[in-house]
Amino acid sequence: MPERETRQEKREREAPQAALWRDVREGWSYIFGNSLVAAIIGVNILWATGGGAVNLITDRLGGLVFAGGQSGMKPDAAVAALYAAAGAGLFLGMMLARRVGSHVELHRATVPFIGWTLITQGIFFALMGVMPTLWLACVMAFVSRVVIGVEFAYQETLIMRLVPDNLRGRVSTMDRSMEFMVWTLSTAIAGWSLHLITPRTLTFVCGLLSASSGVVWLVVFASRLLKLPAKIGRVEGKEEQDETLLASAGEELQV
């Protein structure tokens, strides 16, 4: 009697196009069947409505608003300064994410942490548009990126812990593809809007749009439409698990 065909062997036998669409269907089926995962992806998409225009905004602020004048910098140098500030902020945020995430889990603060960090990064993003000098705008960009760097790393870890191993790649692909699609549309609309508004106004509006993702997240949980599983909010059980979290957070276990 022939052995039962394994799932992997069946995948390899399928036509590439059929396998691709089956993977897409499985990814979306899981997302729509898991309200918490769908909420996280929805927040990413909502963030991208404003955050997606960041490259265009950086180019317009540096090249048109802050070049010359008091800064005395050429357009390319002003754009590079804003990008450098944002890049440094993302780097620092990612480096801090593990320790901050451990504090968040120890204090069961996952929901408020995600919500308020999204709001905070959006506010600092918006403030870039009202700063009088390039260097103050760089500070706003730096702080905004530190905050979003920490939030993004923690949120990605959360979604990986929620999704089963065999679906993680497909769900992550759906998440990124939708976010980048909205990112592209956001950039196109932002570019068109510059015929009607100034780069400063666009920056402020896009910052508030990205911050709205945090507001929606907090409202959804405050209204009890969603609830975070206890095992995600805090590691329960063995004492050594708590010791690991405490060590990551730079604290000591109290006995």
Q: Is residue 118 part of a domain?
A: yes
Quick check: helix, strand or coil at residue 67? coil
Report pLDDT for 236.
Answer: 44
Query: What tokens does 147 get?
Result: 């905050």
Q: Is residue 29 part of a domain?
A: no
Q: Note every long-range contact of 65-72, with CB atoms under 8 Å and residues 24 or more positions apart, other chains counting.
A: 65/199, 65/200, 66/133, 66/134, 66/137, 70/133, 70/134, 71/133, 71/134, 71/135
Report pLDDT for 247.
Answer: 53
What is the pLDDT tens value at each position of the chain, 255 positions in all? 445 556 655 555 556 666 667 777 877 888 888 889 999 999 999 999 999 899 999 999 998 898 876 666 888 999 999 999 999 999 999 999 989 988 888 888 899 999 999 999 999 999 999 999 999 999 999 999 999 999 999 998 888 888 888 888 888 888 888 888 999 999 999 999 999 999 999 999 999 999 999 999 999 999 988 887 766 544 444 444 455 555 555 555 443
CA geometry: angle 87, 89, 93, nearest 5 deg: 120
- Enter the DSSP assignment of 6: P
Domain harbouring 192, CATH code: 1.20.1250.20
- Residue 44, domain extent: 37-249
Query: What tokens does 91 get?
Result: 């780097």
Number of domains in the chain: 1
How many other C-beta atoms can be found within 10 angstroms of the C-beta atom of residue 9?
Answer: 11
Q: Is residue 25 part of a domain?
A: no
Q: Is residue 31 part of a domain?
A: no
